[in-house]
Amino acid sequence: MKFGVIRFPGSNCDQDPFWVLSRVSKQPVTYLWHESQNLENCDVIILPGGFSYGDYLRTGAIASLSPVMGAVKKFAASGGLVLGICNGFQILCESHLLPGALLRNAGLKYVCKPVHVRVENAETPFTSACSKGEVLEIAIGHMEGNYFCDESTLEQLRRQNRVVFRYCDKQGEINAVGNPNGSLDNIAGICNEGRNVLGMMPHPERSSEAAMGGADGLRIFESLVGALATK
């Protein structure tokens, strides 16, 4: 198995998942340049957080037009696993690999802190090491993390069980107190219909070692490793 982390100009979180995959999970991983359409036979593609292309126009808008995203779209269409973290989630929405958009946080302030998210769907390659209803503590760091979509899209996400994570309080209750950015329906992460593309605002790579204050985020990477091992 092999992981690929895309590097866009302005990305500042690409080294973090690379570290977790190579040093913590002990998996082969390589960087993929935004101008290349060669995914180098990777089994999982990760779009990291950061400020791709300086977040000009809209977050993720320019990155969605980069050459590598053409290859990622084909890869996803063939069933390849794609994980978008924070800015990566924004890029997936701008690329129409996932529905909806990420708006400015409620309160218009950058938010950076550990939050709690509840696993709503444990039957994906990204959450198979988790249990449905389990509460994870994972760090966030964003200004545009307020997920929004129209009512028909929200109904479809609910009906197809495609909301993978919701913000919650420490006890797992879904409420306004546990929602750090105003996201619609407390949505913290969603997947596509094929369940092979996941976008999430929390940064699992920032919560994958005890030295970082907690390792709940490692469950996402463990799930991917397990999914590839049984593929």
Would you name the residues annotated as active-site residues? 86, 203, 205
In 194-212, which positions are buried (b, 16+ CB within 10 angstroms) versus exposed (e)? Answer: ebbbbbbbbbbbbbbbeee
* Encoded amino acid at 230, one letter: T
- Residue 94 to residues 24, 129, 178, 217, Cα–Cα distance (Å): 31, 29, 26, 25
- Give Cα 52 distance to the centre of its chain: 15
Residue 206: φ, ψ to 5°: -85, -5
* Structural contact between residues 9 and 48, judged by C-beta atoms closer than 8 angstroms: no
| Closest-CA residue to 81 (of 179, 191, 170) | 191
* Distance (Å, whole) CA 92 – CA 89: 5
